[in-house]
Structure 1
């Protein structure tokens, strides 16, 4: 489901379960492990999903499997966000489709998020499906989304790619046939940065956000 390859001085992590990339504990733990393996050489990392859907979000089966599994799945999501925020090299997400909540959280955690034009939506739809978000994506959204995007968390407004960029989910949105070239240009820029300075600046910028997320409690499913 998760594969990693190194191409021209950058690591490419691909999420592809052949379905909709619903994220359970096992997949999220594998993402964290892949990021850890990529950290040693300080090369930039790109995380890509399937064409048509980056991720359908958390695996809802996990939330129906009992308190222990539900809690572990949410903790794994929290760990994945923290792994991106702490990663010493640039992390770029590439979304060529839909990004439902956990997928949207990964966009917000990344240092740079690229979206593709199309009939896709990104955002947090928990109010529409009868769920309450855990605290940690609220903290992440408050830090990374503008006022419109923050209000949309409660109203379950989902955004097309262009509007998703306006509220803060993406840094740029391009035509589908321009995604690869845009990713290569972004990776080239990231590889040109001073690695030590980047890490120091990212660490300082994310320090309070990381502390707030770490301190946030998970829901009590008991």
Structure 2
């Protein structure tokens, strides 16, 4: 399960199990029904620490997105499940502190969209892809997810990413405006910490006020209940 490591520089939220490369309970850091409340609670702990927030993971995946096993087995619960996903995005988008994401591995689907919620995005340039595979999987985007993608990257990139399911490596993701930087794996976390150190003075409630104003239409879309007719 996810864990939090608070240092002098930042509160570092890791999406997988502590001390291992592979979380046996959720090896791809998918958005499980127990995983999401755990991440939300850790974000609250990070906020209480009053430090910049870094979100990363270990191993092959940053996050492989929705828990498809749960989705396909619980169609009647899908709207409520997706509303919980949206609530997590809104949570990250309005953290009262700078949020830096360090994309350590594959970020697909809902996991790719989680990375978009950060204020500053860094991706490793030697391995791992950022991708929205929904078109290739014949899956729709919710209103909130479409708004998130549309407003957090250039329009041409959003169009390509949503309609073609292209996989972007680190350097391609920088060129496309998906992430701000791409660095080697060994430099990924230290670069995130460097950015956190430059933004420490910005931590505080005013960050959340500014973020809500900046992202109000997006937050409205994310807060709109998912219709049962989505699929």
So what's the TM-score if we normalise by structure 2? 0.88
Alpha-carbon offset, residue 129 of structure 1? 1.3
Alpha-carbon offset, residue 2 of structure 1? 0.8
Whole-angstrom distance in 2 between the partners of 1:210 and 1:71: 17
Q: Is the 8 A contact 2:125 2:184 kept in 1?
A: yes
Whole-angstrom distance in 2 between the partners of 1:194 and 1:62: 37
**1:135 correspondence with 2:109:** no
Judged with a 3 Å threshold, the aligned counterparts in structure 2 of structure 1 residues 42 and 204 are, in CA distance, closer, same or farther, namely farther
Q: Is the 8 A contact 1:74 1:218 kept in 2?
A: no
SS at match of 1:40: helix
Per the alignment, residue 78 of structure 1 pairs with 86
Equivalent residue for 1:180, pick from 189, 192, 201:
189
Equivalent residue for 1:147, pick from 141, 150, 155:
155
Whole-angstrom distance in 2 between the partners of 1:216 and 1:114: 31
Alpha-carbon offset, residue 170 of structure 1? 1.3
Unaligned runs of 5+ in 2: 18-22
Q: Give the number of equivalent residue pairs.
A: 222
Per the alignment, residue 211 of structure 1 pairs with 220
Per the alignment, residue 20 of structure 2 pairs with none
Alpha-carbon offset, residue 101 of structure 1? 0.8
SS at match of 2:14: strand
Which structure: greater helix fraction? 1
**1:100 correspondence with 2:108:** yes
- Please provide the CA RMSD for this pair: 2.0
CA distances 1:156-212 after superposition (whole Å, capped 9, x unpaired): 112111122233321111111111220121110121336355344323212222123
CA distances 1:83-136 after superposition (whole Å, capped 9, x unpaired): 011211112111111100111111111111110012321121111112112221
